[in-house]
Amino acid sequence: MPDKKYDKEELFQFPNPKTTDKRERRIQRALEIIPGTLSWSVVSGILLASWLAPLAAATFVIIYDIYWLFLTAYVTFFSVLSYRGLKRGMRINWWERLVRSRDLTRYRQELFDRAAFLRRVLREEKMPFRQKMIVRRERQELIRHSQEITELLEHEEEIMDHQEIIHAVLLPTVGEGADIIEQAIRSIAESTFPKSQMIIILATEEREPEETRLPKIEILRKKFDGIFRDFLVTTHEVAPGELKCKASNAGYAAKKLRIYLDERNIPYDRVIFSNFDCDTVAHPEYFSALAYAYVTDPDRLRRAYQPLPMYHNNLWDTNALVRVTVTGSSFWHMYQGTRREMVTFSSHSEPFDTLVRVGYWPVNMISEDSVIYWKAFSYFHGDYKVRLIPLPVSLDAVLADTYMKTLGNAYKQNRRWAYGIENFPVMMRALWPDKQVPLSKKLRVTEETLEGHMSWATAPLILSFLGWLPLFLGGTVFNESVLAHNLPVVTRVLMTLSMGGLVTLVFLSFLMLPKRPKRYSRWKTVFMFAQWFLAPFVSLLMAIPALDAQTRILRGKYFGEFWVTEKVRRK
């Protein structure tokens, strides 16, 4: 049973973005101004330099193009590594690994014996090349896993019994139809993890009209009654000081879950809380893989857990611009999964114990998925990490009733994602006064956050538009210089070389593409390839919303509520 220590630990104070303290408010506003100021300084700086100092502007453009070439190669390389890790993760029987974690010594010996047997098979038997490669890959995986088991045996006494683990899966909804949510819950019901150890939390909003909310609840209850340990429904009413956002709804539902656990004497550290979007379709092995990662990690309470988001639910149905946008987003998250400072995004999981300790989500911020990471990061003085679960979860790509409305919704969704820069002021206010966080980590977090969001907003503009301004604004003297004659050539060569990364990602996108629905002909596959010629336009579709979001915060024109992406499925 949770003890009174939580009452004390809930006093943990994370900076309030809407603080009324005059000194803290000045600091907050000063930090809010920084990201937008940097981005606009880059844009206006290149514009002015192209007119007043075209030689310096052209030099900067060439250096930036070289930097972009190396960055493209770097991201592509680690995206390929992430893809290989994803394929490996999808081949693993995570439920078996979870069950066998109760007797690691015996399990390791069986892995050794199986690997030795396969070695003899490879030496003694003749087989087709393809079959030999499959056997060799299985043997390599056995050896790799036996090494992991050897490491786990060093702290075997700290491994938890998976039979005590409970998965609580939150599905917040405000207006989505029962058919959308049903697909998400059905994927959970088809999980390899025992449903008797799973709780579904359908988090509704009181502001959704009863004539749509109540029938939706009734439909889902009937379809999944008796399948899970429990099916909880919460109805959140926006309280004073709260935004109409996912964070306030999730926090309300989490507090109701806490009451539920207390009444049944269920320890919080036995509960893994998954905060999903209501359209998230989980891989059948995800919850088994998540439980395995949790029970075998001695620092489990200092971890968040992130699957790889893929926008595959309706990828064939949406338009080409959106497909390229969301596929690029998937690749970006695959690359992020290889980084040390990965941040939670969209659908993810965390220990419920940690969620209670940090005091849940801030209820007056839009970007709930990333801010909970920074809140826990601050609580543990920087000793908090995201652990990748190498399995995909599938979500909806933006799709509306008309082509133009789809593009408009895509713009709004990208702007909401980019609005995550609102985390920067509060995380700076939390980290820099904390003497327990190493200076190197503070500097790294600050630099990576600012550089990432500034590149998001400015890189496509520099590469597609601003980089050519010295030729148009530089004047006669500059245009007659050697650098002016070479600028288009150098830029073209560097951009052509960087296209090698795009070609690699296009190839990977076809390997990950979900099966073509029968309602589409083979010509649709051809169009799926041709759509990648729209990549330059898509980059602008990503950059302009990011600049929009930063400008809003710069001017203090904050969003008043969480914009919910419309969910549409083709029948």
Name the residue among 288, 221, 320, 262 with its Cα closest to residue 528: 320
- Lowest-confidence segment of 184-198, 484-498, 513-527 by average pLDDT: 484-498
Band (pLDDT 50/70/90 cuts) for residue 9 is very low
Instruction: Give the integer Cα–Cα distance in Å for 248 and 254.
Output: 10
Q: Which residue has the higher pLDDT, 485 or 93?
A: 93
Helix (H, G, I), strand (E, B) or coil at 505: helix
Instruction: Give the integer Cα–Cα distance in Å for 564 and 368.
Output: 13
- Lowest-confidence segment of 75-89, 253-267, 348-362 by average pLDDT: 75-89
**4: pLDDT strictly greater than 60:** no
pLDDT of residue 2: 42
Helix (H, G, I), strand (E, B) or coil at 358: coil
Under a CB-based contact definition with an 8 Å cutoff, are residues 17 and 28 in contact? yes
Q: Mean pLDDT over residues 318-337, rounded?
A: 88
Task: Express each pLDDT in 212-243 by its tens digit.
Answer: 999 999 999 999 989 999 999 999 999 998 88
Residue 522, strand partner residues: none
Q: Which residue has the higher pLDDT, 353 or 537?
A: 353
Task: Express each pLDDT in 52-107 by its tens digit.
Answer: 999 899 999 899 989 988 988 888 898 899 999 999 999 999 999 999 998 999 99
Q: Do strands 281-282 and 385-394 pair parallel, antiparallel, or not at all (unpaired)? A: antiparallel
Tokens coding 503: 């070609």
CA-based torsion, 315, 318, 324, 327: positive or negative: negative
Report residue 176 CA to chain centroid gap.
21
Instruction: Give the integer Cα–Cα distance in Å for 122 and 565.
Output: 53
Q: Mean pLDDT over residues 360-368, rounded?
A: 91
Q: Mean pLDDT over residues 307-312, rounded?
A: 93
Percentage of residues of the chain with pLDDT beyond 70: 98
Under a CB-based contact definition with an 8 Å cutoff, are residues 357 and 12 in contact? yes
Torsion of the alpha carbons at 423, 379, 156 and 389, rounded to the nearest 10: -10
Under a CB-based contact definition with an 8 Å cutoff, are residues 213 and 207 in contact? no
**173: pLDDT strictly greater than 60:** yes
Tokens coding 145: 């896993």
Query: What do you get for the CA distance between the two ends of the chain, in Å?
Result: 48
The per-residue DSSP string of 69-101 comes to HHHHHHHHHHHHHHHHHHHHHHHS-HHHHHHHT
Helix (H, G, I), strand (E, B) or coil at 282: strand
Phi-psi region of 241 (alpha: psi -120 to 50; beta: other; left: phi over 0): left
Tokens coding 391: 């399995």
* DSSP 8-state code for residue 66: H
**11: pLDDT strictly greater than 80:** no
Instruction: Give the integer Cα–Cα distance in Å for 503 and 522.
Output: 21
E-strand stretches of 300-426: 303-310, 348-351, 385-394
Contacts of 231 (CB under 8 A, 6+ apart): 199, 200, 202, 220, 221, 224, 225
Q: Mean pLDDT over residues 550-563, rounded?
A: 91
Report residue 266 CA to chain centroid gap.
29
**185: pLDDT strictly greater than 70:** yes
Mean pLDDT of the chain: 90
Instruction: Give the integer Cα–Cα distance in Å for 425 and 558.
Output: 14
